[in-house]
Structure 1
């Protein structure tokens, strides 16, 4: 089902706030302290690979929790998986055992862990980002999904229209079905805006190896190869590894497209900020804030998914820095064609 209209005001500020917070939650599974005043809500947050501080996916999730706490009160306990992600069941179990409710798993890699843990805690509401729960038989879980292909389509349009060389690139973190949706949308958008454009595509790690989301050195190497081959804009869907893509762009005199958060605002380094042309927003922060608010009001419908797409403003492009202001008319036109159904964006490359 489609989400109700999301409250998007302040999204940029929330993402920036997340990047400024302490990132002491370790990769071994330690809990973080809440920065909010104590209240009735006890929120458990289990991060994806790399934990908080990635200036992207995980930080966006944290920003959503902090925004909810700012409105409703409460506190959050944060846990991060170990390097190989083998303790995901332990993380969800610990959060539920400690009385957190709701418990939010950030990333599809928690799917198997959720299927094992949620039935053991029927009075705890769970949510998982980027994973459908519709066919999992879990009455106490909600899937928070995003039409990443639609946002990426607009990113592809922007890259094609702004490219001077007619050559762009895509760096994916892990070669999974989800990240392939980013690739598929990006390629389709670029080809729609500029037929014949050259598009390099590479992944940092293979399916099952989630290190690709936390390997900026490898991300930089792949992006460097693309810039050396003639690309002038590279889009990453690689979590914390995107930092390396930005560094490669800065060194090559090229530009880059960020993902999930408004990375122009979160990257921190002015030299890297200057190369971020736009970011494909996947408003994890707003989706999580909305879920927590619904939970507090008793209106969560477990066992179902909430899809955040262009129509609900759940995905889109950031405009910080003004580098895509001159193509706003074209982007708006493609957006309306997608919403109306005139353009059907593919989900597979």
Structure 2
């Protein structure tokens, strides 16, 4: 079945332009309109009938695009979104990209077909210009992830500052050989948390050992495997700051499987403060993100946009907190 993106490629225009031709043809130049209509005819494209029905009405539906529906971190963000949505008479459609950029584009097709009144993106892997184009046509809010210099309402924490705080916690405990298991470097959160780690090391005149920086993929398994690589080094680290709590759990298991102790032999700090961190043995020191509040704020902003309001402020940075537990240990003598 042909999609709107196929029409856009045939007519050599954007999908947003195709959407305008279908919704508001008077807003598109005659030449462009004719090109799009010709492409629609050639491809036998059938615009979504639900979208036609709601051309002048609200769907009372919002689309939430998430990178990994299995993540315990995002479940709390989603709860905040859904609570505000339901209170306001909206239902939530969930799109799981499974960290696949092509899936992200596919879900946006639903917005272009007007099957939702607005969208909250909990992932921001697509091209900045493309996202701005979509946001100029529809209400869009970014949450958790973000894109530099993007003129779209965004809710997040300061990931650089938070990572710096986590790393400095190790330094205050007396560690100098500090490693970092990062997330994928194609994700801005991974780059920012690496930057925070590096800033802390540099500001305290500590050497950044390239072999101490390993790249994972968000999963528990990658935390386990990357920790094993660190343990195989001739001089392994005494502390490890990990991109997220799931990978931190994997890292701790690898340490234990090698017959070592946490934090006595190697200290560990995670990120996100998912519920599991307070019951895992040892309890995990981590950066707490206000997950539920991020979801609520994102939905509040989307409601404002869908009501036609102009936002005076578009960047909202919520407060994070270092939660100190057993896995980072006590001050080293």
Give the structure 2 partner of residue 35 of structure 1: none
Using the size of structure 1 for normalisation, the TM-score is: 0.61
Find the structure with the greater CA-based Rg: 2
- Which structure 1 residue ranges, 4+ long, deviate > 6 Å from structure 2? 322-327
Q: Is the 8 A contact 2:283 2:327 kept in 1?
A: no
DSSP 3-state at the match of 2:72? coil
Bigger strand share:
1
Structure 1 CA distance, aligned partners of 2:227 and 2:170? 15
TM-score by length of 2: 0.63
Q: Does 1:276 align with 2:284?
A: yes
Q: CA deviation at 1:90?
A: 1.1
Deviation at 1:148, TM superposition (A): 0.8
Q: 1:125 aligns with which of 113, 132, 139?
A: 139
| 2:250 aligned partner | 244
**CA positional deviation for 1:304:** 6.6
Query: 2:149 & 2:202 partners in 1: Cα distance?
Result: 33
CA RMSD of aligned residues (A): 3.6
- Deviation at 1:132? 3.6
CA distance in 2, matches of 1:187, 1:306: 25
Per-residue deviation, 1:293: 1.9
What are the within-5 Å matches in structure 2 for residues 15-30 of structure 1?
Answer: none
- The answer as to whether partners of 1:144 and 1:287 remain within 8 angstroms in 2 is yes
Give 1:306's match in structure 2, choosing from 312, 315, 320. 315
Match of 1:288 among 286, 289, 295: 295
User: RCO higher in 1 or 2 (8 Å CA, sep ≥ 6)?
Assistant: 1
Residues 281 and 95 of structure 1, relative CA distance in 2, 3 Å threshold: farther
Does structure 2 retain, via aligned residues, the 8 Å contact 1:152–1:186? yes
Paired with 1:190 and 1:41, the residues of 2 have a C-alpha distance of 49
The CA distance in 1 between the partners of 2:153 and 2:61, in whole Å, is 18
The residue that corresponds to 2:105 in the other structure is 89
* Counterpart contact for 1:77–1:95, Cα < 8 Å: no
In structure 2, runs of 5+ residues without a counterpart are 1-58
Could you tell me which residue of structure 2 aligns to residue 226 of structure 1? Answer: 230
Residues 285 and 87 of structure 1: is their aligned pair in 2 closer, same or farther, counting only changes over 3 Å? same
Question: Which segments of 5 or more consecutive residues in structure 1 lack a partner in the other structure?
Answer: 1-39, 205-211, 328-349
Where does residue 318 of structure 1 map in the other structure? 323
- Find the counterpart in structure 1 of residue 215 from structure 2: 203
Which residue of the partner structure matches residue 165 of structure 2?
154
Normalized per residue, the structure richer in helix is 2
| Equivalent pairs, count | 258
Any idea what SS the aligned residue of 2:125 has? helix
